[in-house]
Chains A and B, each alone.
Chain A
Amino acid sequence: MPTRSAGARVERLIGASEALVLAGASVIIVGALSAVVSRSPRAGLTVQSIGVVLLGAAGVWVLASGHAVGAAFRSDVRPAFGVDGLSGFFLLVIAVVGAPATLFARDALEADGRGRSLALATGVFLLALVGFVCARDVSTFLGFWELMTLVPAAAILLARQDREARHGVFVYLAITHIGGAGVWVSMLVLAQHGALGGHPLGGGLAAFVACASLVGFSTKAGLMPLHSWLPRAHPLAPAHISALMSGVMIKLALYGLVRVLFQWLAPPGLWVGITLMAVGALSCVGGVLYALMQHELKRLLAFHSIENVGIVALGLGASLVFGDIGQPTWSAIAFAAALLHALNHALFKGLLFLGAGAFSKAVGSLELDRLGGLLRRMPWTGAAFALGAMAIAGLPPLNGFASEWLTLQSLLHLGVASHLGVALAGALATAALAATAALAVYCFVKVIGLVLLGLPRRAECAQASEVPVGMRASMVFLAGSCVALGVLPGLLVPTLAALGPGRVTLPAGAGLSVPGTGSLPTLALALALVVSVGVLARLARSPRAAPAPAWVCGQLPAAGLAWKAAGFTKPLRLVLEVLFRAHREVQVSVSAGVVQSITYKAEVPHLFDTLLYGPVSQAALRAAGVARRLQSGSLRAYLIYLLALLGLLLALARIGVLG
């Protein structure tokens, strides 16, 4: 009896969640279309957000119930859709960013043709993301994979057509497509060998597929050294599209990687995990280092996406390595850590990009050195932005800390593993991640300081006004969920660990109690922190503080004298001169012995562009130029080609090469 009733309940669940998925998708379609037909995109975007929420609910439902709905993965090319636990989780990721993003766009987009087409693009983008997660056969998978790349490009071009935008979009498409060849090859091989259908691929081919998929997916995920498109493309897009790109799209590339490495390949061997960890370490350190040197807010945030994707990759790599050295529990923990960080990054990076959008709507340019003092002018946006910054900097008691703690723990336990090589890798990765966290703190102290605090450096900042309620609400929602996940990560982690290899079950609870650690009781920590801060602050309030100007050697504080990004990061730039190769020029124009003006220009070149991408593309173009000489225009040359081809083939046949 109970089993039957349980079965019936499962049936109900499945029916319900399937219905939710369909409903959500169709509602998004309706929203996308209505955005075009109606005069203003607002209604359409609202509908889209509803649809995304429905899909997220379906995802959570599947994740919680643990019963996949729809079709299972299949190796032939018959179209199929379905949702299992992993897809459900990523549906949740899509939803938690998609809903606020659409809500934000509702107030951010103008009610003109461009606004309407952007709303349409947003809807299509959401559908592409959802479709990619729900695809269950190779052609659907690859189709939505490509769409997922293209729609943002189209959205960028819809928003702006200047030279910079066109070039950025081209670089984006170019790099992702060349890398995408890896995805194509690996997916086709997997499909053709029945790996999607549930017979994991092993043997020599598996290594090839692993390499191809690593190249392909990590290009799209923006892992170094294949990241060069990311800091170009993300800043160009409209804020809510950037949020979706940075928060969701690059995560879905990792979703693909997880599918290939954890599900469709037989355990591929130690080297894959180590490689993934190396790439992850490079990405997180390199990403945050370059982020520190940026002077434009959205570009800085884009580099931080590289950093955080790197952290996720570290977790996944650690999980693979643990699996290979026979520690299923830690393998599952590392896996859960990676997924949790993916979700967290989606939350706070979405929040930060939306905040950047709000600032640019309020004051225009996002040059860090020309902002300031916005916290007083835009309290809601400012506070939410600051919270997001704290979260991405990995500070307790916010969500970034929870996932980075879990990742660090797994790396550290890799460091105490029983092989020297693995242990060294683990120790180095641990140190790298710790340094990354500290660098992130450095970077976001700089960001908050330059954007929100101090004196306004521009007239617009002095009269900036708070953005409309819809935009505020979306940011507040994201900030709230950052806090919630920071306080209650334990509700999610066991589920995620169960998705991972080994199907390990962890003790549930508000905080994270992991064997081999001193446990992270997030809730208690948060409460203790809040209470003690409250008490101490209350005590500090009396006697009253006396107003006084800040101490700048007796002068009055002036915006012109205020510190800028370059100055604040100078110590690090000097220490790491070798890496940054910064060059600067100071021009002092003196006339009649009096200094008339001093111009100072300094920049940190992106070494990957100057040393890797630049030369390669130059060489390729030169080679192409040489190859084009083939079309010399001389008919006689062409006839010689004909004779030569004929002679070559005949000769080959004659000497028996062609059998």
Chain B
Amino acid sequence: MTDVLLIAVPAVPLVGALLVRLPRTPGGADRMNLIGANISTVLALTASVVGFVHGARGLHGSWFVLDHAGACFLAVIAVVGWCSAMVSPTYLASAGKSLFTARRARAWYYTAFYLFWAALLALALVKNLGVAWLLIEATTGASALLVAYSGRRNALEAGWKYLVLTTFGLAVALLGILILFAGLAPHGGTLSTLDWQSIARHAGGLPHQTALFALILILVGLAAKIGWAPVHNWLPDAHSEAPPPVSALLSAALLPTVMLIAWRVVLTLGVAVPHHLADHLMLAFGLASLAIAVPFLWRPMAWKRLLAYSSLEHMGILALGIGFASPLATVGVIIHLAGHALAKSLGFYTAIPLARHDPSSAQRAPRGLARLSTPVAAGAGISLATLSGLPPSPLFFSELLILLGGIAAHQITSVSIAAVLMALGFLGLAHALIETLAGESHGHRWRSGRTVRLAGRLTVGLTLGLLALSVSAYLLADSHAGASLMRGIA
């Protein structure tokens, strides 16, 4: 039963990718999109519920493993994907020319979108490192096209950089995987040798050098895809040039999901390297990302580019949480993941009405939205306030838990540095928040067209989600979820 369900989770969007090509009219494609999105989301959410219910030790199947962490990621990917799918028609309606010929553009968009989504959903479930690598590479292929969808010169540039950087990074990671495979060859050189469980089981027996270099190569390679400094450079370009729904999916789903793979590598392979080297590598990546993000956040930037750099910052925070490797920090990571996903996607969605009513917002930072349009201002404000970790947003609690976990892991130095860097990063977001809402704005109020109404609806929905998240975070932070989240994986 579960097998069927879990096969269906990636399969349905895969089929959807083909079906959306059938209808001839844009409206038909949109309807097909609606159906496909709803079915896939329902399936994925059911799967994640199943995972929560009896995934304490992880459900292990022919090709998948479903544990608490995986279930959380699955749910997040499903929700963000659903939102993006729902938003897409409005975006496509308001978008101009594209990379593809006008007649097929919409079909291409949906196909790539669903392939991308399917790969992400599968990625949260796979139990094998090699397969995971293949899926990550597949996401690159699909999403690169989406990034360049608008076909503008900048979009092409962004897509190209994204493609080249991540593929080279993944090549490095693949070398690492092969080295690991060579090391594990004595334990049966078949595909299943790269299962998380078998890696965890045999990692102890690996030659120390092999494990070390495999770990380094894999982490560096994945870092290029996750967008950890200093190999994050594609991230701001791709996020700022991609269509808003795709940016949301990239930032809120893709990066964390790849990080889940990195996390599993650390958990399984980490035991083979001396004194928590893997955790320290994660901490290094985290601090580097935080530090690199700060100077960019300090500069007034176009809306989506700002969000992109805040993604860099938050990937750093997540890396820290993983590196601290203590139950509190792990709970924090999960809350942070979900909160960041909701807030960030909300932010990207507000970019749709922004681009519609103020085309210059692709270059300049928006100003004085409060006077121009209440729903858009609310969306932008709530998203930014949440991303800057202000109470009562869930990110406030998650950051608190992550730092607390860090102290529990006796990493007071890293915690102090991280706290200062977060405060410094906050400066930029605070300035952006003030100017975006209260700055001098020109022109008269926007009339509430389709895009504005959409922004309003999304704001209400996602804000409720965020509130629910913070309430649960505030009340249940101390529950013993953390241990199971960490245990379930291997």
Residues of A within 8 A of B (CB): 76-79, 138-139, 142-144, 146-147, 150, 157, 161, 163, 166, 169-170, 173-174, 177-178, 180-181, 184-185, 188-189, 191-192, 205, 208, 212, 621, 623-625, 627-628, 630-631, 635, 637-639, 641-642, 644-646, 649-650, 653, 658-659
Of the candidates A147, A157, A659, the one whose C-beta lies within 8 Å of that of B274 is: A659
Q: What B residues does A139 contact at CB under 8 A?
A: 397, 400, 474, 477
Which residues from A are CB-within-8-Å of B462? none
Contact between chains at B212 and A645 (CB < 8 Å): no
- Would you call B277 an interface residue if the criterion is a C-beta within 8 Å of the partner chain's C-beta atoms? yes
Cβ–Cβ < 8 Å partners of B420 in chain A: 178, 181
Let me know if B437 and A79 touch, CB within 8 A: no
A77 touches B401 (CB 8 A): yes
Nearest-Cβ distance from residue A51 to partner chain B, whole angstroms = 20
For A143, A184, A628, the residue with the greatest tally of chain B CB atoms inside 10 Å of its CB is A184
Structural contact, A658 and B277, CB atoms closer than 8 A: yes
Q: B166 CB to closest chain A CB, in angstroms?
A: 10
> Once the chains bind, are A659 and B277 in contact (CB under 8 Å)?
yes
A185: chain B residues at CB < 8 Å are 403, 412, 415-416, 419
A630-B230, A646-B172 known; A189+B407 contact, CB < 8 A: yes
Nearest residue (CB) in B for A180 is B423
Residue pair B165, A177 in contact (C-beta under 8 Å):
no
Smallest CB gap from A157: residue in B = B438
B230 in contact with A641 (CB, 8 Å): yes
A508-B475 Cα distance, complex, nearest whole Å: 44
Taking a contact as CB atoms under 8 Å apart, the answer to whether A658 and B233 are in contact is no
Bound-complex Cα distance A623 to B298 (A): 11
CB of B427 within 8 A of CB of A641, answer no
Chain B positions within 8 Å of A181 at CB level: 416, 419-420, 422-423
Give the 6 A-B residue pairs with the shortest CB-CB distance, closest first.
A624-B295, A659-B274, A627-B295, A638-B233, A192-B407, A143-B391
CB–CB B390/A642 < 8 A = no
Which A residues are in CB contact (< 8 Å) with B196?
Answer: none
Chain B residues whose CB sits within 8 angstroms of the CB of A144 once the complex forms: 391
Residues of chain B contacted by A624 (CB below 8 angstroms)? 294-295, 298-299
Contacts of B216 in A (CB 8 A): 649-650, 653, 658
The segment from B126-134, B355-363, B428-436 that touches chain A is: B428-436
Q: Quick one: given A181-B423, A638-B165, A646-B172, are A166 and B234 in contact (CB under 8 Å)?
A: no
B160: interface (CB < 8 Å):
yes
Contact A188-B407, Cβ < 8 Å, known A76-B478, A139-B474, A638-B161: yes
Question: Does the CB pair B390–A178 fall under 8 Å?
Answer: no
State the majority secondary structure of interface residues on A: helix
B446 at interface (Cβ–Cβ under 8 A)?
A: no
B396 within 8 A of A: yes
Cβ of B71 within 8 Å of any chain A Cβ, yes or no, is: no
**Total number of B residues with any Cβ neighbor in A under 8 Å:** 65
Residues on B with beta carbons closer than 8 Å to the beta carbon of A161: 368, 438-439
Give B324 Cβ to nearest chain A Cβ, in Å.
12
Q: How far apart sit A653 and B213, CA to CA, in the bound complex (Å)?
A: 8
Question: Does B426 have its Cβ within 8 Å of any Cβ on chain A?
Answer: yes
Nearest-neighbor residue (CB-CB) of A182 within chain B: B419
User: Which chain A residues border B172 with CB–CB below 8 Å?
Assistant: 642, 646
B208 contacts which chain A residues (CB < 8 A)? 659
- CA separation between A271 and B280, bound complex, in Å? 35
| B252 interfacial by beta-carbon distance below 8 Å | no
Nearest chain-A residue to B435 (Cβ)? A166
- Whether A658 pairs with B407 at a CB distance below 8 angstroms is no
Interface pair B277/A642, CB less than 8 Å apart: no
Interface residue? B490 (CB, 8 A): no
Interface residues of B in 371-425 (CB under 8 A from A): 390-392, 396-397, 400-401, 403-404, 407-408, 412, 415-416, 419-420, 422-424
Nearest-neighbour CB distance to chain B for A166, whole angstroms, equals 5
Min Cβ gap A241→B in Å is: 16
B234 adjacent to A638 (CB under 8 Å): yes
**A639 touching B168 in the complex, CB below 8 Å, given contacts A166-B435, A177-B430, A650-B216:** yes
Q: Does B236 make an interface contact (CB < 8 A)?
A: yes
| Nearest opposing residue in chain A for B370, CB measure | A161
| B164 on the A face (CB < 8 A) | yes
Question: Does B273 lie at the interface of the complex (its beta carbon under 8 Å from any beta carbon of A)?
Answer: yes
- Whether B396 pairs with A143 at a CB distance below 8 angstroms is yes
Could you list 18 examples of A-B contacts with CB < 8 Å?
A76-B478, A146-B390, A157-B438, A166-B438, A174-B430, A185-B412, A205-B412, A624-B294, A627-B292, A631-B296, A638-B231, A638-B233, A644-B230, A646-B220, A650-B216, A653-B216, A658-B273, A659-B275
A180 to B408, CA, bound (A): 21
The smallest beta-carbon distance between B19 and chain A, in angstroms, is: 36
The one of B401, B412, B427, B439 in contact with A177, judged by C-beta atoms closer than 8 angstroms, is B427
Report the bound CA distance from A637 to B169 in whole Å.
Answer: 14
B224 touches A (CB below 8 Å): yes
What are the residues of chain A within 8 A of B415 when measuring CB–CB?
185, 188
- Please name 19 further chain A to chain B contacts, defined as beta carbons within 8 Å, in addition to the given A77-B477, A139-B474, A157-B438, sorted by A numbering: A138-B400, A139-B477, A143-B391, A144-B391, A146-B391, A147-B392, A161-B439, A166-B434, A170-B431, A184-B403, A185-B412, A638-B161, A638-B234, A641-B233, A642-B165, A649-B216, A650-B216, A658-B277, A659-B273
Interface bits B144-178 vs A (CB < 8 Å: 1, else 0): 00000000000000001100110011001000000
Contact A639 B164 (CB under 8 A): yes
Residues from chain A with Cβ under 8 Å of B168 in the complex: 639, 642
In angstroms, how far is the closest chain A Cβ from the Cβ of B474? 6
CA distance A188 to B326 in the complex (A): 15
Chain B residues near A178 (CB, 8 Å)?
A: 420, 423-424, 427
With known contacts A635-B164, A642-B169, A166–B427 Cβ distance under 8 A: no
Contact status of A173 and B233, CB under 8 A, knowing A192-B404, A646-B172: no
If A143-B391, A188-B404, A659-B275 touch, does A628 touch B295 (CB 8 Å cutoff)?
yes
A143 to B391, CA, bound (A): 6
Shortest CB–CB separation between residue B286 and chain A, in angstroms? Answer: 15
A169–B434 CA distance with the chains assembled, in angstroms: 8
Complex contact B423–A623 (CB within 8 A): no
